[in-house]
């Protein structure tokens, strides 16, 4: 393997035409530069510089190489130089994002608007995240993912938290659960739709989750009538039936518009939704900018509490003088008209 450091030495020697000046420019001693010239002569099979009176002149081979060597050194320096700041106005690129269900519906409009305002030539391609396979990120098929980091997440992936989320209950407007005090018993007496993304044939179906574990501690159990593969399907069934769905609050905010949402009557842990990317993209300027846009689009909105105008004023909804505070796993509801007060969570 040739010593490419000699290219820098050769470039300076040919530019200066003098061993002493070349040594000074490279901060080497004259003897070290003389040894480097000897190595260059051995490597090229050419004297490179020969004496002419009191000075040195380049050989024909050295004259021939001078332009090429200078360009090689400049190209090498450009490769090793830190990346320049990207010009967003001239950036033309398509980014592929693999996102959890509800992300596009809730955060897509703000993300697309922010990206378009800064970089009109950038296009976003959204793919539905059907599993936790890290292969698309490793293979470069996907630039960025969103989801909950778990044991199945590839250990080399970079992650950054976007927001905290929690489960809430959802029923159609006019459902019996829209009125009166919510309790774990009332919640379990209803019929539920459960969500599971696990495909049949890939191990036993995991029908129980943190909500079921919390209910078991109270000696209660949900009646699961059907299992669907996504939250949007569950909410579509809720709109047309008396089924009860339990879904992530922030991730389904827009999907729950016009439905009645309520805090679960049992304490369940919050979870963190993050963005994930492969480390090879960590220092890429355009990718760093995209990550900042995603973070900005997901900022704010710690608690949506109840979704939709109908949840505030529609038939079967709460009185208009209701006061609702979000925070933690549960929140307090006061109904001054009836004197009812309850603490959920």
Per-residue pLDDT of 316-338, as tens digits, reads: 333 333 323 222 333 333 333 33
Q: Verify that 101 and 232 share a domain, yes or no.
A: no
176 and 250 in a common domain? yes
Same domain, 330 and 212: yes
pLDDT at 308 over 60: no
What is the DSSP track for 227-250? EESSHHHHHHHHHHSS-EEEEETG
- Is residue 153's pLDDT more than 80? yes
Same structural domain, 253 and 265: yes
Specify the pLDDT at position 332: 31
Q: Are residues 73 and 57 in the same domain?
A: yes
The answer to whether position 198 is within a domain reads yes
| Mean pLDDT, residues 95-104 | 91
Q: Judging by beta carbons within 10 Å of its beta carbon (0-12, 13-18, 19+), is residue 334 exposed, middle or buried?
A: middle
DSSP state of 313: H
Is 86 contained in some domain? no
315 and 185, same domain (yes or no): yes
pLDDT at 336: 33
143, 96 contact by CB (below 8 A): yes
161 and 172 assigned to the same domain: no
Residue 35 corresponds to which tokens in the numbers above?
Answer: 């040894």
- Give domain status of residue 10, yes or no: yes
Give the pLDDT of residue 101.
83
Mean pLDDT of 188-210: 74
Any domain includes 238? yes
pLDDT of residue 138: 86
**Residue 176, CA distances (Å) to 1, 181, 260, 332 in order:** 79, 11, 11, 20
How sure is the predictor about 295, in pLDDT bands with cuts at 50, 70 and 90?
very high
Q: Is residue 138, in this structure, part of any structural domain at all?
A: yes
Number of domains in the chain: 3
Tell me which of 80, 101, 136 is where a domain ends: 80
- Which CATH number fits the domain that encloses residue 54? 1.10.10.10
Residue 111 located in a structural domain? yes
Residues 231 and 149 sit within 8 Å (Cβ to Cβ): no
User: 64: helix, coil or strand?
Assistant: helix
Specify the CATH number for the domain of residue 338. 3.40.190.10
Above 70 in pLDDT, residue 86? yes
- Segment 275-282 mean pLDDT: 92
- Domain C-terminal end among 54, 80, 106: 80
pLDDT higher than threshold 70 for residue 202: no
User: Where are the alpha helices (H) located in the chain, listed in sequence order?
Assistant: 5-16, 19-25, 30-44, 60-80, 103-118, 135-139, 184-189, 210-216, 231-240, 285-297, 310-313
Tokens of 247: 């879904």
Q: What is the mean pLDDT of residues 252-265?
A: 93
Say yes or no: 64 and 206 in one domain. Answer: no
For residues 101 and 62, membership in a common domain is answered with no
Q: Examine the domain organization and report whether 257 and 283 are in the same domain.
A: no
Answer yes or no: do 14 and 63 share one domain: yes
The string of DSSP codes covering 165-233 is E-EEEEE-TT-GGGSS---HHHHHHSEEEEE--PPTTSSS-----HHHHHHHTTT---EEEEEESSHHH
- Taking the CB of residue 1, how many other CB atoms lie within 10 A of it? 3
Per-chain mean pLDDT for the chain: 82
* Structural domain harbouring 55: 5-80
> Is residue 85 a part of any domain in this protein?
no
Structure tokens at 37: 């010239």
Q: Report pLDDT digits (tens) over 12-32.
A: 988 888 899 999 999 999 899
Which stretch of 43-47, 81-85, 95-99, 236-240 has the lowest confidence by average pLDDT? 81-85
Is residue 342 scored above 70 in pLDDT? no
The residue out of 23, 47, 80 marking a domain boundary is 80
- The reply to whether 87 falls in a domain is no
Q: CA Rg, the chain, in Å?
A: 33
pTM: 0.65
315 in the same domain as 173: yes
């Amino acid at each position: 393997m040739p010593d490419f450091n000699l290219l820098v030495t050769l470039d300076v020697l040919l530019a200066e035409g003098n061993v002493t000046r070349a040594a000074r420019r490279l901060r080497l001693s004259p003897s070290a530069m003389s040894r480097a010239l000897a190595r260059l002569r051995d490597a090229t099979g050419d004297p490179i510089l020969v004496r002419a009176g009191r000075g040195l002149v380049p050989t024909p081979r050295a004259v021939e190489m001078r332009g090429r060597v200078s360009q090689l050194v400049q190209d090498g320096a450009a490769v090793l130089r830190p990346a320049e700041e990207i010009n967003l106005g001239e950036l033309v690129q398509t980014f592929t994002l693999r996102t959890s269900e509800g992300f596009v519906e809730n955060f897509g409009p703000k993300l697309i608007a922010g990206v378009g305002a800064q970089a009109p030539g950038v296009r976003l391609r959204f793919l539905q995240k059907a599993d936790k396979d890290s292969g698309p990120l490793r293979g470069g098929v996907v630039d960025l993912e969103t989801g909950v980091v778990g044991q199945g997440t590839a250990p080399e992936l970079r992650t950054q938290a976007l927001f905290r989320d929690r489960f809430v209950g959802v029923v159609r407007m006019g459902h019996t659960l829209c009125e009166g005090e919510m309790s774990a018993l009332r919640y379990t007496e209803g019929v539920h739709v459960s969500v599971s993304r696990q495909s049949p044939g890939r191990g036993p179906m995991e029908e129980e989750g943190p909500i079921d574990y919390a209910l078991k501690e109270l000696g209660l159990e949900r009646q699961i009538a059907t299992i669907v593969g996504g939250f949007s399907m569950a909410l579509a069934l809720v709109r047309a039936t008396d089924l009860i769905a339990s879904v992530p609050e922030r991730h389904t905010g827009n999907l729950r518009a016009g439905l009645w949402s309520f805090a679960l009557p049992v304490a369940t842990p919050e979870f963190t939704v993050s963005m994930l990317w492969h480390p090879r993209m960590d220092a890429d300027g355009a990718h760093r900018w995209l990550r900042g846009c995603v973070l900005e689009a997901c900022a704010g909105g710690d608690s949506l509490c109840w979704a939709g105008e109908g949840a505030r004023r529609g038939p079967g909804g709460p009185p208009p003088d209701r006061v609702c505070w979000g925070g933690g796993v549960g929140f307090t509801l006061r109904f001054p008209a009836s004197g009812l007060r309850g603490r959920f969570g």
